[in-house]
Chains A and B, each alone.
Chain A
């Protein structure tokens, strides 16, 4: 029984009670992913599973056997930061940084959703193939990630600038 984490096969716990979040942090010491509420409400624990963003605190690790998980530790290319990581620094997308790994993983997942034309709650025309890009769209799509420090404006700036300049992060 194993799970791929940032490209490496890792063991799964025997106890089915272990969440994917605790597996990452406590068993494999990947502490980049944060535990905020442990109830699905804050988004600090957001990771990507086969490219889709989920909250790892409500995910039982065993349910994800054989799947490919990407955490914040898996986004940089060696010493080169992921474009979103760089943009969060440039646009003051954080203060304390606790929510940041979740924000960035969430934004990577969102990029793929935008690319395939997935609508959101603020999308006017549901039948359109492409999403008209706006601040409202980004804010709505990032609403599952709370920031206790109130860095939301910087967060949306960072994401908006990255998507505009580097549409390929949506790959």
Chain B
């Protein structure tokens, strides 16, 4: 690890003051410490933000405001999350291990970086995320875990978070703070697609701090998360689906759908949602919606299987939710 200084922020304003050029915020450290040890991240200073708000507050109308320092375990375990946002509890519990979820914070989970093996291979591979412009070895390499949607000639990496897929489906917003003031962004606008600059992963300004995540009142009581992976536990997603579905008189009244493991960002499936609204809640309609979403999917050498896998997982998850509704 490259040497760095460490300090602890007492609150958000203190964190912003400490975040000088070259500094990074430190949550549980489960991603950042790993990347620093590999010298992929080389911050000059770490500003520990685990002392910032870690509360889960009720909002008017039935939403929740979750402090950025709240541990993943605490969110998944929270009564209101389990009852009103099962998709979020399930997505968190599907990720990593109990030990890592005990350490991981909301802010850190959202900003965790890709698990692309070429990104991690600092010594032997080219990666436009590490060194902009040097090239991407994944495009012609082993790319079974890589993207099928929204990739670019510069980068085919995927965002690895399970939790973020649920946040995308829930219409969450992120509360941000910087020297310039505060702003609130739709969660789905936070992460970027790679285009020509895969090293720039979010729209955050340098030093901008995530202070909280807000969940609007749930669209429907029924929501769930399904993760398809190489082993039944403790593996990243090949494909995952977060969904919430409201059915009325046999028709889709409303639906929110997001996909994991398929793109550079948690992928909100707007096309599938549009195709479904007002349609009968049937297997055929679910499959058609999945086809619509994946119509422009582009396979790489090793990951064409993901296209059909994603379609089937979407249809299965919607079928499960519709079955519960009946």
Binding site for B on A (CB under 8 A): 15-17, 19, 38-40, 43, 46, 52-55, 58-60, 62-63, 106, 109-110, 113, 116, 118-121, 123, 126-127, 139-141, 143-145
Q: Which of B3, B33, B34, B97 has the most CB of A within 10 A?
A: B97
When distances are taken between beta carbons in the complex, the residues of chain B under 8 Å from A120 are 93, 98
Within 8 A of A (CB), among B101-120: 102-103
Bound-state CA distance A121–B89 (Å) is 9
- Further pairs besides A43-B99, A58-B100: 15, Cβ < 8 Å: A15-B3, A43-B97, A55-B100, A58-B103, A59-B29, A60-B29, A60-B46, A63-B29, A63-B50, A109-B99, A110-B98, A118-B73, A126-B86, A143-B233, A145-B97
Given contacts A19-B33, A121-B233, A140-B233, A46 and B99 within 8 Å (CB-CB) = yes
Bound-state CA distance A127–B89 (Å) is 11
Q: Is the CB of B98 within 8 A of A38?
A: no
Interface residues on B, range: 35 or more
Q: Is the CB of B89 within 8 A of A126?
A: yes
Kindly supply a per-residue 1/0 record for chain B positions 1-37, scoring 1 wherever the CB is within 8 Å of any chain A CB and 0 otherwise. Answer: 1011110000000000000000000101110011001
When distances are taken between beta carbons in the complex, the residues of chain B under 8 Å from A54 are 99, 102-103
B134 touches A (CB below 8 Å): no
Q: Which residue of B lies closest to A110 (CB)?
A: B98
A-B contact pairs, 7 of them (CB 8 A): A46-B99, A52-B102, A59-B103, A63-B6, A141-B98, A143-B234, A145-B97
Q: Is the CB of B93 within 8 A of A121?
A: yes
Q: Which residue of B lies closest to A37 (CB)?
A: B34
When distances are taken between beta carbons in the complex, the residues of chain A under 8 Å from B4 are 16-17
When distances are taken between beta carbons in the complex, the residues of chain A under 8 Å from B3 are 15, 17
Given contacts A63-B29, A106-B99, A121 and B94 within 8 Å (CB-CB) = yes
Given contacts A58-B33, A63-B50, A119-B77, A16 and B5 within 8 Å (CB-CB) = yes
Bound-state CA distance A145–B26 (Å) is 25
B90 touches A (CB below 8 Å): yes
A-B CB proximity, top 3 nearest: A144-B97, A16-B6, A143-B233
